[in-house]
Structure 1
């Protein structure tokens, strides 16, 4: 698959097969996140892979959706604010930006491997910190559900037109 096809085929999967994700594929997905660019190459991310039933239950308590419980794997993407680059002019912390790039790389790699993902940001942060023993300076940024989609039908994507979002030379 070429990159454009991968981008077009990626969507937020909300129904998973019970089939386990192969270790080799999981490693490739994690490596895609590892290879992502970051501000000043500080790489302020950590990935917690959740596959065991006990921890699976904890994740389902952090985000309450029935479909979410079906995913065989979760990756909790965390950011280290102490390790992140901060812009000098206004102090903007790039942890979230860097983590988002890593997540995007992982979602695209998963798509190429025939897997589906859903990028979740609306979850109970404090429960996540507690359940997965995160140090105070480590923030849980997103949870990526991962597995084989139940349906291979790619939903239509609603996107703004380029005329609505592209500005040439000035806003």
Structure 2
């Protein structure tokens, strides 16, 4: 499978089997995030692996969009470690975290592990439940695990705008 085929076939899994993700595969997924490009290679991402029963209980308190996943990755960035654009002070943290998250989702898909990007969470609950350092900003949760039998892409998954609507050639 080439990259385009992988990217096209990956979908948000919202129904997971109870099968745990093997540590070897989880490590590959995390390494894919580690090698993701970040602004000036500052690597401000901070990833918490949520998999113990206690951590999963905390996860349930932070979002309704947990999909009963057996594993979640909480992706944050450290505000003190970001590149900052001199013209307006905008930092790279959210973009860096998004790139890292995308790398991890695509690696997971290549290994047969499903994922869903969850941005619908209560930031204060995440900070409190997981005792995040003050400088860490939570960006998203990646609900992750093996797809359950019958897990299908949402009907909207295949609906893509024409390139002419999203791309301009200059």
TM-score for both structures, normalised by structure 1: 0.94
Structure 1 equivalent of residue 167 of structure 2:
166
Question: Deviation per CA, 1:29-63, whole angstroms, max 9, x where unpaired?
Answer: 00000000001111100110011111101101100
SS at match of 2:5: helix
Is structure 2 residue 113 aligned with structure 1 residue 112?
Answer: no
- Work out the number of aligned pairs and report it: 167
SS at match of 1:82: helix
CA RMSD of aligned residues (A): 1.2
Report matched runs for 1:16-165 at 5 Å: 16-65=16-65, 68-150=66-148, 151=150, 153-155=152-154, 156-165=157-166
* Contact 2:75/2:138, CA 8 A, preserved across alignment: yes
* Contact 2:44/2:77, CA 8 A, preserved across alignment: yes
Following superposition, the deviation at residue 114 of structure 1 comes to 0.3
Q: Distance in 2 between matches of 1:57 and 1:133?
A: 14
Following superposition, the deviation at residue 69 of structure 1 comes to 4.5
Structure 2, unaligned runs of 5 or more: none
* Runs of 4+ residues over 6 Å off in structure 1: none
Following superposition, the deviation at residue 153 of structure 1 comes to 4.4
